[in-house]
Amino acid sequence: MPTQTERLLASLRDDRARRSAEYMVRRGMTPLRLAEAKQRLADLGYELDRRLDCHGNSRWMTGELAGESHPVITTSIRQADDKRSFAHFEARRDERFRALQKLRWETFIISRGAIISL
């Protein structure tokens, strides 16, 4: 039976996205389903602000995939209580923020055939 990671990687129909996601997994990152990412963010007091989604291509600048690109969706994360961007200069900088940063560095989302970077 395939693991969740294997199922998520297989869901990427674009070879470039699948190659990039496999590379990210080899580097120690964990792919998440969108619902799982939303729950993890909510547990920390954050939420995705999907109004700011931007569809595009991301290009690897270094490493074994240097020069290759893949479809990506970038989005914004905001504090659930006051709707302030996590990156705002007055946003909280507590343990939850540090946990958010760890989540952003260690995971990525696979949804609708693209990689969503946090």
Given pLDDT bands bounded at 50, 70 and 90, which one contains residue 52? confident
Instruction: Please check the confidence at residue 1 and state whether its pLDDT lies above 90.
Output: no
Q: Which domain holds residue 86?
A: 4-117
Please give the tally of structural domains in the chain: 1
CB count in 10 Å sphere of residue 37: 20
Specify the residue for token string 């940063």: 101
pLDDT tens digits, residue range 26-47? 999 999 999 999 999 999 999 9
pLDDT tens digits, residue range 64-82? 999 999 999 999 999 999 9
Residue 17's identity, in one-letter code, is A
By CB atoms closer than 10 A (0-12, 13-18, 19+), residue 47 is: middle
pTM of the model: 0.91
* pLDDT, position 107: 97
* pLDDT, position 7: 94
